[in-house]
């Protein structure tokens, strides 16, 4: 709401930058919010491998800098 109505409610750019950083941090969390949970539907949740793959695909689209940073960390660890 703050991003949509920023002008109408008089939010400054500093506040919107904080909101943008928060959105990016939340996007990095390994979660998949759903309107109805698998448990409520008596269904088994997706495997951790599938969930991880979907999270990586999401981050590649929304936060490529974070993916590049993770790749550098992995390369450093594999050289040890």
Residue 7 belongs to domain spanning: 1-30
- List the structure tokens of 42: 């008596």
Residue 41 belongs to some domain of the structure: no
Residue 63 inside a domain? The answer is yes
12 within a domain of the structure (yes/no): yes
Assess whether 50 and 25 both reside in one domain.
no
pLDDT digits (tens, 9 = 90+) for 2-58: 878 888 888 889 999 999 898 888 888 777 666 788 888 898 988 999 988 988 898
DSSP 35: S
> CB under 8 Å to 39, separation ≥6 — which residues?
45
Q: Is residue 9, in this structure, part of any structural domain at all?
A: yes
Q: Is 59 a domain residue?
A: yes
Query: b/e map of 8-26 (b: 16 or more CB within 10 Å)?
Result: eeeeeeeeeeeeeeeeeee
Q: How many structural domains compose the chain?
A: 2
């Amino acid at each position: 709401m703050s991003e949509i109505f920023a002008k109408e409610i008089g939010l400054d750019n500093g506040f919107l930058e904080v909101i943008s950083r928060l959105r990016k941090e939340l996007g990095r969390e390994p979660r998949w919010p759903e309107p109805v949970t698998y448990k409520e539907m008596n269904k088994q949740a997706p495997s951790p491998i599938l969930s991880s793959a979907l999270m990586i695909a999401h981050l590649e689209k929304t936060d490529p800098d974070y993916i590049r940073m993770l790749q550098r960390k992995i390369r450093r660890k594999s050289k040890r």
